[in-house]
Amino acid sequence: MKFVYSYHIPIKDYFCQYKLNQNSKVHFFMILYLAPLQGYTESYFRNAYSKYFDCFESAIAPFIPAGYGDTIKKSRIRDLLHENNDKMPVVPQIIGKYAPEFIPLAKHLYHYGYKTVNINMGCPIQSIAKKMRGSGLLVYPEIVEMLLEKLFKEVPNHISLKMRLGYYKKQEIRDLMPILNKFPLKELIIHPRLGSQMYTGKPDLEAYEWCVRNTQIPIIYSGDIFDKNSFEKLQKRFPQQEKWMIGRGVIYDLFLPMTLKQGNITTAEKIDLFGKFHASLFQEVVEYRNRPKNQLNKMKEYWGYFSRQYKNHTQIHYQITRSNSLEEFAEKSDRILKQEAWRSKPLIDGFISE
Ligand SMILES: Cc1cc2nc3c(=O)[nH]c(=O)nc-3n(C[C@H](O)[C@H](O)[C@H](O)COP(=O)(O)O)c2cc1C
């Protein structure tokens, strides 16, 4: 059956989420989550994306720092405000280490409508990990246990975790798993690298497999899904895996989730969809970010990746970065969208890192 686009009907409705893999003859049930990427997958991106690419079932929002005090200002949860979130279901993420920092924010989010919160135990940034936050928390199983005990007693939200294998060594997740297994966690999202690795090396699939075998908590895979090929290899290795998270892969290739669910789409269709998505993203960024300079810089950041769809990518990126005003940016991007030739696949070299 030929797929026909209609921009008013969610693309998801056209797609059968069951996918027959010809080689393994296994029906895969595929649920895709949008990963939190601070600076990229905020509400302006989620809104524009879900308008034209309805391929993600859910998103985890980039983290909000936990903090003491009961007053939660609107500005702190701006990315999560209902009026800033059009369509894609989103789960808030909190980073911190002690329960009293988490509780007021988690409760506030619950009463505001977020029935699940995710805890960040994966951030590898040294200045954060050194303070026992993000992946730095994985070194201290007793603190994780205390945190979860208190949270499960005191907050009404469901709790999910997003974590790496450890900070220094993968023994850390082996020590932690029996503790995690004691709690009714909703989901465990695992990016199978160590915090100390940042984004170097490859995801450790053996260690991931160990996690799958050693927990009953529903587990989600996150890491290095950059194209159909890498995804299908993962699917073959983990045929029972239903839920996958994609982060950098979708910034590099906006069409990746669609390709995974639907199969290849033509360049003409891509050009058309990208034009519509880009106009929507631009509008969202202008509405969300206060000053023209910030709006322009954000669009330039995205174009560091969008330009890689084009044959003439180096020049295109250079031209965009030379824009001095939003008007100039609008003119240049419009010309590029209308005239520049596309590559058959986006250039994916050197990955975004935090
Ligand atoms: C720029 C950037 C920002 C990120 N921000 C967050 C974040 O706020 N919370 C989080 O849990 N993970 C964050 N991550 C990690 C991603 O969610 C994801 O787990 C990781 O990039 C591996 O998946 P990928 O290869 O699909 O990108 C970030 C990663 C990058 C590159």
Tell me, using a 6 A CB cutoff, whether residue 257 lines ligand 1.
Answer: no
State the virtual CA torsion across 163, 77, 50, 121 in degrees, nearest 10.
0
The range of the structural domain enclosing residue 292 comes to: 267-339
| Closest Cα to atom 28 of ligand 1 | 37
Say how many domains are in the chain: 2
Last residue of a domain, one of 196, 227, 262: 262
The 3-class SS string of 179-235 reads: HHCCCCCCCEEECCCEHHHCCCCCCCHHHHHHHHHCCCCCEEEECCCCCHHHHHHHH
Which of 203, 229, 262 delimits the end of a domain?
262
| Domain contains 138 | yes
Residue 128 in domain? yes
- Residue 48, SS3? helix
Q: What is the spatial distance between Cα 274 and Cα 310, in angstroms, rounded to a whole number?
A: 12
Distance between Cα 17 and ligand 1 center (Å): 25
Same domain, 172 and 298: no
45 Cβ neighbours under 8 A, 6+ residues apart:
281, 284
Residue of minimum CA distance from atom 14 in ligand 1: 37
**For ligand 1, mutation pick of 205, 305, 354 (most atoms within 8 Å of CB):** 354
Q: Evaluate whether 352 touches 251 at the Cβ level (below 8 Å).
A: yes
Distance 163 CA to ligand 1 centre (A): 10
Q: Does residue 7 lie within any of the structural domains?
A: no
Residue 353, phi-psi category: left (phi > 0), alpha (psi -120 to 50), beta (remainder): beta
173 with 272, same domain? no
The protein residue with its alpha carbon nearest to ligand 1, atom 8, reads: 62
Domain co-membership, 295 together with 258: no
| Ligand 1 geometric centre to CA of 122 (Å) | 8
Question: Is 241 in the same domain as 291?
Answer: no
> Residue 32: beta bridge partners?
244
For residues 283 and 245, membership in a common domain is answered with: no
349 belongs to a structural domain: no
Taking the C-alpha atoms of residue 284 and residue 46, their distance in angstroms, rounded to an integer, is 10
Are the CB atoms for 68 and 37 separated by under 8 Å? no
Of 262, 284, 311, the one marking the end of a domain is: 262
151 falls within a domain? yes
Distance 303 CA to ligand 1 centre (A): 19
**Ligand 1: distance of its center to the CA of 245 in Å?**
10
* C-alpha distance from residue 148 to each of 7, 111, 217, 322 (Å): 43, 20, 14, 49
Is residue 5 in some structural domain?
no
Q: Assess whether 75 and 213 both reside in one domain.
A: yes
Q: Do the domain assignments include residue 10?
A: no
Kindly state whether residues 253 and 237 are assigned to the same domain.
yes
Q: Is the CB of 287 under 6 A from ligand 1?
A: no
Q: Are residues 209 and 314 in the same domain?
A: no
Residue 230 resides in a domain = yes
Query: In which residue ranges of the chain is pLDDT below 50?
Result: 1-27
Do 271 and 190 have their domain in common?
Answer: no
Q: For residue 237, what pLDDT is reported? A: 97
Could you tell me if 116 and 144 lie in one domain? Answer: yes
CA distance 262 to 155: 40
Cα distances (angstroms) measured from residue 101 to each of 145, 151, 258: 15, 10, 39
Residues 247 and 285 in one domain: no
* DSSP per position, 108-167: HHHHHT--EEEEEE----HHHHTTT-GGGGGG-HHHHHHHHHHHHHH--SEEEEEE-SBS
What is the predicted pLDDT for the residue at 28? 56
Q: What is the pLDDT of residue 31?
A: 97
Domain match, 244 and 316 both: no
Kindly report the CATH number assigned to the domain that includes residue 61: 3.20.20.70
